[in-house]
Amino acid sequence: MSGFLRSASRVWLTGATSGIGEALARRLIHDGHSLVVTGRRQSALDELVTLAPDRVDSARADTTNLSELDQVGSTLADAASLDLAILNAGTCEYLDVSQFDSELIRRNIETNVMGTVLSVERALPHLRRTRELGRPAAVAIVGSSAWWFPFGRAEGYGASKAALAYFAQSLRADLAREGIEVFLVSPGFVKTPLTDRNDFPMPFLIEADDAAGRIIAGLQKGHHSIEFPKRFTWTLRLLGNLPQGVIDRMAARMARNTSQES
Ligand SMILES: NC(=O)c1ccc[n+]([C@@H]2O[C@H](COP(=O)([O-])OP(=O)(O)OC[C@H]3O[C@@H](n4cnc5c(N)ncnc54)[C@H](OP(=O)(O)O)[C@@H]3O)[C@@H](O)[C@H]2O)c1
Q: Domains of the chain by range and CATH?
A: 10-261 (3.40.50.720)
Q: How many CB atoms lie within 10 A of CB 2?
A: 13
The residues that are catalytic are: 157
Q: Is 205 close to ligand 1, i.e. is its CB under 6 Å away?
A: no
CA of 191 to the centre of ligand 1 (A): 12
Ligand 1 pocket mutation, candidates 43, 91, 232, criterion most atoms within 8 A of CB: 91
| Angle, CA 174 vertex, CA 25 and CA 167 arms, to 5° | 55
pLDDT digits (tens, 9 = 90+) for 95-142: 999 999 999 999 999 999 999 999 999 999 999 999 999 999 999 999
pLDDT on residue 79: 74
Residue having the nearest C-alpha atom to atom 14 of ligand 1: 19
pLDDT on residue 77: 87
pTM: 0.97
Q: Is 90 close to ligand 1, i.e. is its CB under 6 Å away?
A: yes
pLDDT digits (tens, 9 = 90+) for 236-254: 999 999 999 999 999 999 8
CA of 161 to the centre of ligand 1 (A): 12
pLDDT on residue 219: 98
Q: Is 136 close to ligand 1, i.e. is its CB under 6 Å away?
A: no
Q: Is 58 close to ligand 1, i.e. is its CB under 6 Å away?
A: no
CA of 79 to the centre of ligand 1 (A): 25
CA of 54 to the centre of ligand 1 (A): 26
Give pLDDT < 50 ranges for the chain: none
pLDDT on residue 142: 98
pLDDT on residue 43: 98
Q: How many CB atoms lie within 10 A of CB 251?
A: 15
